[in-house]
């Protein structure tokens, strides 16, 4: 008797986790991924010279064995993440105060709004050539591109957030005798939080693309560099491995770093309804 | 009794936001509110009631005439005048307690004193048990109680209220009106209450100022001779001391609304 009830108690959390997985569409997702891999294998087997044009999933996995064994892949991923983190932290530190400062004055923000919109539309890849002209194939070039890429979406979204603060909240604080600085701290920044979070997510997302592109043209080591050199060496399996890693790592950054920050502040305040 | 709020020949013009035409919102308005008095401003929509409140609050600069609170000319917003807005003026990212204590935080009152004061006003407006809730978890009526407590807690000389109950349902409104009456008596606040609802004005006010259509002018002043302690809806509806001045106010306001049809 005791044994069987222990067994039931022991099995319970596992089955709960399974049910959550099923309810969250986990089964469908696994089937979808399996389907894509299957289709990929079928195509790979029916074209001439798949090693050059489209290596099968199995050979991609096997090629990863080689780069992991030599310690290259972890090293490259670390290098790329390091560039992303430094670049986007500086981007956030500059972009958020800049966006807030512009948003404080209506005339100034009206003037800067189209300019900010203009620059945020020019992607990092589009400015890479001129940066290479200025700073050559150096580490500096990669950082400048990342910084540029995340600065404008962050600053632009923060500016939008500050501008869309309901006037009545600002007025309520003014009638309580609040100073300008306090209005910024207690009203404008919290009110702009959803936009700040969106800006950060967009900016870091763009920066993730920019760092890969930057590494291809100007970097040493890193995932982008790996893809580029693998193509030169005719190692298509490694090129695909690099692409897959880029996507997988981004999903992990988004899921475990960016989304929780958003959920923690904004949803608790009821600013975004789910 | 000394007047706490004195408005003297106040006029206001502003250019229309879209057409740029000159709008004459207020015309030579003179009125005064005495210490501890509850005054109600009532008039048809577009009579410049909200413009008047914004000028008194210091949110809108005035060019003609004067506005004095406690003998000092109003220049910009200040903690001597507390405002309760129509709706949604409490901060969604602050809990009830932190919203209510916001004015005292700005006045840099020490934490312990502040918390004591905040609790006092939470109890006064009947929000006990909701201290740590966020505004989105509250009903419309509770949000307005919170806004009212925030203004009261900062202890202004004069309280200005801009149709604070316009956005809540009829049942809640009746309760809030009785509660506000009780709170106003308990705190002895000097209040200027703006509304377009004649019953509300007559129920709450010691005196009611009736405004004409634009340009807003003070058309008449009606005194309500029911002691505020006796104002409960179910008793008041059959009381001549309430219904007579209420009907008078209704007549005066209707003249403004239906003027075109004569």
Whether the per-residue pLDDT at A237 is higher than 70: the answer is yes
* Domain membership flag for residue B7: yes
Task: Give residue-wise pLDDT tens across range B44-68.
Answer: 877 788 889 999 999 998 888 999 9
Q: Is B233 inside a domain boundary? A: no
Question: Do the chains contact at B77 and A175, CB–CB below 8 Å?
Answer: yes
Residue B177: its pLDDT value, please?
A: 92
What band does A273 get if pLDDT is binned at 50, 70 and 90? very low
Interchain pair A269, B92: CB under 8 A: yes
Q: Per-residue confidence at A233, pLDDT binned at 50, 70, 90?
A: confident
Asked if B136 and A169 come within 8 Å (Cβ–Cβ), the reply is: no
Q: Under an 8 A CB cutoff, do B85 and A171 touch?
A: yes
Q: Do A169 and B91 touch (CB under 8 A)?
A: yes
Between A6 and A211, the more confident residue is A211
Selecting from B83, B88, B92 the residue whose C-beta is nearest the C-beta of A271 gives B92
Question: Which three-class secondary structure state does DSSP give residue A249?
Answer: helix
pLDDT digits (tens, 9 = 90+) for B130-177: 999 999 899 888 999 999 999 999 999 999 999 999 888 888 899 999
CA dist B21 and B73 (Å) reads 29
Which of A161, A173, A177, A183 to probe the B interface (max B CBs under 10 A)? A177
More confident residue, A67 or B29: B29
Is A270 within 8 Å of B134 when comparing Cβ atoms? yes
From the list B77, B88, B107, the residue facing A166 with the nearest CB is B88
CA A180 to chain centre: 34
| pLDDT band at residue B95 under the 50/70/90 scheme | very high
Q: What is the pLDDT, as a whole number, of residue B102? A: 94
When comparing pLDDT for A219 and B203, which is higher? B203
Is the Cβ pair B77, A187 closer than 8 Å? no
**CB half-sphere exposure, A50, CA atoms < 13 A:** 14
CA neighbor of A270 nearest in space, from B104, B66, B91, B126: B91
pLDDT tens per residue across span A129-151: 888 899 888 888 888 889 999 99
Q: Do residue A176 and residue B92 have CB atoms under 8 angstroms apart?
A: no
Q: How confident is the model at residue A270 (pLDDT cuts 50, 70, 90)?
A: low
Average model confidence (pLDDT) for chain B? 88
Write down the residue that tokens 């009611």 correspond to: B208
State percent of chain A over pLDDT 90.
30
Q: Do A190 and B82 touch (CB under 8 A)?
A: no
Q: Which domain holds residue B28?
A: 1-80+194-226+240-262
Chain A environment of B58 (Cβ under 8 Å): 174-175
C-beta atoms surrounding B107 within 10 Å: 13
Question: Which residues of chain B have a CB within 8 Å of the CB of A190?
Answer: 91, 93
Confidence check: pLDDT of B70 > 80? yes
- Nearest-CB residue to B89 (from A168, A182, A190): A168
**Each residue's pLDDT tens digit, B196-238:** 899 999 999 999 999 988 788 888 888 888 888 888 888 888 8
**Is the confidence at residue B262, as pLDDT, over 50?**
no
| Residues of B in Cβ contact (< 8 Å) with A174 | 58-59, 77
Residue B68 belongs to a domain: yes
Say whether A270 and B88 touch across the interface (CB within 8 A).
no
Domain annotation covers residue B135 = no
State how many domains chain B has: 1
Hey, of B54, B57, B69, B89, which one would you mutate to test binding to chain A, going by the most A CBs within 10 A of its CB? B89
- A168 and B88 within 8 Å at the Cβ level: the answer is yes
Q: Closest partner residue to A169 among B83, B89, B154, by Cβ? A: B89
CA–CA gap between residue B33 and residue B37 (Å, rounded): 6
Residue written as tokens 């920066």?
Answer: A207
CATH number of the domain within which B45 lies: 3.40.50.300
pTM above 0.90, yes or no: no
In the predicted model, is pLDDT for residue A113 greater than 90?
A: no
Domain ranges of chain A: 66-268
Segment B76-102 shows an average pLDDT of 91
Quote the mean pLDDT of chain A: 85
- In this prediction, does ipTM exceed 0.95? no
Chain A residues within 8 A of B77 when measuring between CB atoms: 171, 174-175, 177
The whole-number pLDDT of residue B224 equals 87
DSSP chain B: --EEEEEEEEEEEEE-TTT--EEEEEEEEEEEEETT-EEEEE--TTSSHHHHHHHHHTSS---EEEEEETTEE--S--TTEEEE-SS--S-TTS-HHHHHTHHHHHTT--HHHHHHHHHHHHHHTT-TT-TT--GGGS-HHHHHHHHHHHHHHT--SEEEEESTTTTS-HHHHHHHHHHHHHHHHHHT-EEEEEES-HHHHHHH-SEEEEEPSSSB-EEEEEE--S-GGG--HHHHTT-HHHHHHHHHHHHHHHHHHSGGG-
Q: Looking at the domain that runs over A66-268, which CATH code has it been given?
A: 1.10.3720.10
**Rounded Cα gap, residues A239 and A243, in angstroms:** 6
pLDDT at residue B261 is higher than 60: no
Out of B89, B92, B137, whose CB is closest to A172? B89
Identify which of B93, B102, B136 has the shortest CB distance to residue A176.
Answer: B102
């Amino acid at each position: 008797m005791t044994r069987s009830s222990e067994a039931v108690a022991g099995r319970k959390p596992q089955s709960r986790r399974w049910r959550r997985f099923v309810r969250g569409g986990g089964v469908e997702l696994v089937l979808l991924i399996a389907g894509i891999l299957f289709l990929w294998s079928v195509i790979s087997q029916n074209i001439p010279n798949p090693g050059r044009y489209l290596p099968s999933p199995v050979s991609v996995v096997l090629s990863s064995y080689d780069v992991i064994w030599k310690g290259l892949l972890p090293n490259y991923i670390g290098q790329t993440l390091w560039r992303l983190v430094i670049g986007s932290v500086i981007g956030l530190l500059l972009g958020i105060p800049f966006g807030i400062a512009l948003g404080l004055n209506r005339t100034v923000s009206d003037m800067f709004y189209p300019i900010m919109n203009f620059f945020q539309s020019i992607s990092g890849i589009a400015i890479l050539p001129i940066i290479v002209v200025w700073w050559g194939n150096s580490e500096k070039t990669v950082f400048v591109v990342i910084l540029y890429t995340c600065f404008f979406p962050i600053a632009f979204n923060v500016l939008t957030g500050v501008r869309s603060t309901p006037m009545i909240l600002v007025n309520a604080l003014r009638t309580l005798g609040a100073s300008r600085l306090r209005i910024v701290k207690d009203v404008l920044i919290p009110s702009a939080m959803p936009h700040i979070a969106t800006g950060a997510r967009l900016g870091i997302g763009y920066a993730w693309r920019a760092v890969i592109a930057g590494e291809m043209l100007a970097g040493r080591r890193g995932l982008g560099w790996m893809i580029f050199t693998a193509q030169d060496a005719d190692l298509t399996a490694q090129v695909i491995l690099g692409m897959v890693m880029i996507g997988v790592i981004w999903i992990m950054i988004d899921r475990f770093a960016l989304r929780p920050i958003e959920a923690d502040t904004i949803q608790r305040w009821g600013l975004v309804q789910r | 009794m000394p007047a706490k709020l004195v408005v003297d020949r106040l006029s206001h013009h502003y250019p229309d936001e879209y057409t740029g035409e000159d709008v004459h919102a207020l015309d030579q308005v003179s009125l005064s509110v005495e210490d501890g008095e509850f005054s109600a401003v009532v008039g048809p929509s577009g009579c410049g009631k909200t413009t008047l409140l914004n000028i008194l609050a210091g949110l809108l600069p005035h060019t003609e005439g004067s506005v004095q609170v406690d003998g000092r000319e109003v220049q910009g917003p200040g903690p001597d005048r507390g405002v309760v807005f129509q709706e949604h003026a409490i901060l969604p990212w602050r809990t009830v307690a932190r919203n209510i204590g916001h004015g005292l935080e700005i006045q840099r009152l020490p934490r312990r004193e502040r918390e004591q004061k905040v609790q006092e006003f939470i109890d006064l407006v009947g929000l006990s048990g909701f201290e740590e809730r966020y505004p989105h978890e509250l009903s419309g009526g509770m949000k307005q109680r919170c806004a009212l407590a925030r203004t009261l807690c900062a202890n202004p000389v004069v309280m200005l209220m801009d149709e604070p109950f316009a956005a809540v349902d009829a049942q809640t409104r009746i309760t809030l009106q009785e509660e506000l009456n009780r709170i106003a008596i308990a705190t002895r606040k000097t209040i200027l209450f703006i509304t377009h609802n004649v019953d509300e004005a007559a129920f709450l006010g010691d005196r009611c100022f009736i405004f004409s259509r634009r340009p807003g002018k003070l058309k008449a002043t009606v005194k309500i001779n029911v002691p505020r302690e006796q104002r409960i809806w179910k008793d008041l509806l059959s009381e001549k001391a309430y219904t007579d001045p209420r009907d008078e106010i209704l007549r005066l306001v209707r003249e403004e609304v239906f003027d075109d049809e004569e």
